[in-house]
Amino acid sequence: MKGMNISDQSLLRLERAADELRRGQPVVVTAGDRALFVMPLELATTPALERFDTMVTDSFVMLTNNRALSLKVAGEDWAAVRLERPSWMTAEDMVALADPTLDLASPLKGPYSRINHPSTALDEAAIKMVKWARLLPAVLAAEVEAAKAFPDQMAVDADAVLNADFAQALALRQVASARVPLAGAENTRLVSFRPTAGGIEHIAIVIGEPNRHDPVLMRIHSECFTGDLLGSLKCDCGEQLRGAIKAIEEAGGGVLLYLAQEGRGIGLISKLKAYALQDQGYDTVDANTRLGFDVDERVFAPAAEMLKQLGFGAVRLMTNNPDKVAGLERFGVTVAERVAHKFPTNPHNEQYLATKKAKTGHIL
């Protein structure tokens, strides 16, 4: 598996860099003797820009191809697109460039000129770093020499960033396990997993006493604060969560992995931005891409690793999403069967589910 020998030290630096980015502070991403000095556009402020400009020169803006497409500045199919930073561009303009939910309030300025620069691993790592920090994938950046000292800035290695999902999955360890009787599934145990270097935690919900010989009935459920906790009618998550617990209990046992991958991996705040775009008429897929994200930012390496550590090699996976089957198999889990996991629609989620069927290959 890629990233297997990335050390805890690299992951620790990544988590620290993500913390800096979440505070709007710049970090340095390095690849050999080259480096990028980057800060998240979403958090640009006038004082932050002033400070940025005292530290580096010749800065530019970098977006994902998806965001560039929606701004009509994409050219070739480059993963990251660099734009010139015009002299009139304020911090507010930068935030608006990153965040399409502001389009109506502050119509975009322009024109923007694309820099002729096919994206490199360094560019992709810089974008990945802000995604890792659960921010919109757009940065202000400047090329610097890797040897240049920025004593206050966290530096991370591009390869470590690009392999971080896998490395962090492999670093997951069980840290607590306790009996938590659930309504309708009283013989239930919650097992928590945390990466050794810190970072996002996931929970396995083990119901009954599943045997390790036959494929285990299981569900991978990605966190949905709105659906799971608040009972939002915009999606089917709450019903799928409770439905899975019920089905596993009725089958005599199994596992539900509750993964901290809110909003298909974009985070709660960005998901709410996606919802704001949906209020303007965009569907769940277009909302994600207008924000600059991929349609689905999840990887299922953590799920595969948790199953392995729990002693399950083969599963009967409750899902309507063929990507989840492929995502698990990619990491060595045998999916013996896909078990459909459908629930009746309501007027608020009908369109959401229709889009899943039409655009993301869900079998509904």
Active site residues: 296, 298
Question: Which of these ranges, 30-38, 44-52, 164-172, 263-271, lies near ligand GTP under the rule CB under 6 A?
Answer: 263-271
Q: Which is nearer to ligand GTP, 119 or 261 (CB)?
A: 261
- Residue 274 as a binder of ligand GTP (CB under 6 A): the answer is yes
Q: Which is nearer to ligand GTP, 163 or 319 (CB)?
A: 319
Residues 193, 128: Cα–Cα separation, whole Å? 23
**Shortest gap between Cβ of 2 and ligand GTP (angstroms)?**
23
| Token code pair at residue 336 | 């013996």
Residues 195, 169: Cα–Cα separation, whole Å? 7
Single out the residue of 40, 210, 215, 263 in contact with ligand GTP (rule: CB under 6 A). 263
Q: Specify the amino acid at residue 288.
A: N
Residues 2, 302: Cα–Cα separation, whole Å? 14
**Shortest gap between Cβ of 224 and Zn ion (angstroms)?**
3
Single out the residue of 132, 261, 306, 307 in contact with ligand GTP (rule: CB under 6 A). 261
**Shortest gap between Cβ of 255 and Zn ion (angstroms)?**
20
- Residue 221 as a binder of ligand GTP (CB under 6 A): the answer is yes
* DSSP-assigned beta bridge partners for residue 340: none
Q: Which element (helix H / strand E) includes 254?
A: strand 253-259
Q: Which of 62, 61, 58, 97 is nearest to 78 (CA)?
A: 62
Residue with tokens 């998240």: 40
- Residue 290 as a binder of ligand GTP (CB under 6 A): the answer is no
| Token code pair at residue 66 | 């998806």
User: What residue numbers does the annotated binding site for Zn(2+) cover?
Assistant: 224, 235, 237
* CA 118 to each of CA 129, 144, 336: distance values in angstroms, whole numbers, following the listed order: 19, 18, 42
Phi, psi of 114 (to 5 degrees): -75, 140
Residue with tokens 């530096």: 155
Chain contacts with Zn ion (rule: CB under 5 A):
224, 227, 235, 237
Environment class of 91 (CB within 10 Å of its CB; exposed 0-12, middle 13-18, buried 19+):
middle
Question: Which of these ranges, 36-44, 67-75, 258-266, 308-316, lies near ligand GTP under the rule CB under 6 A?
Answer: 258-266
- Residue 223 as a binder of ligand GTP (CB under 6 A): the answer is yes
- Residue 320 as a binder of ligand GTP (CB under 6 A): the answer is yes
Q: What, of Zn ion, ligand GTP, none, does residue 240 touch, CB below 5 to 8 Å by kind?
A: ligand GTP
Environment class of 305 (CB within 10 Å of its CB; exposed 0-12, middle 13-18, buried 19+):
buried
Task: Starting at the earlier edge strand, list the strands of the sheet with 138-145.
Answer: 80-84, 60-64, 138-145, 34-40, 27-31, 155-157
Q: What, of Zn ion, ligand GTP, none, does residue 30 touch, CB below 5 to 8 Å by kind?
A: none
- Residue 27 as a binder of ligand GTP (CB under 6 A): the answer is no
Contacts of 300 (CB under 8 A, 6+ apart): 220, 324, 327, 328, 330, 331
**Shortest gap between Cβ of 319 and ligand GTP (angstroms)?**
3
**Shortest gap between Cβ of 131 and ligand GTP (angstroms)?**
12
Single out the residue of 73, 224, 277, 307 in contact with ligand GTP (rule: CB under 6 A). 224
- Residue 319 as a binder of ligand GTP (CB under 6 A): the answer is yes
- Residue 245 as a binder of ligand GTP (CB under 6 A): the answer is no
Question: Which of these ranges, 12-20, 47-55, 61-69, 256-264, lies near ligand GTP under the rule CB under 6 A?
Answer: 256-264
The site for ligand GTP (CB under 6 A) is made up of: 221-224, 235, 237, 240, 261-264, 266, 271, 274, 284, 288, 319-321, 324, 341, 356, 362
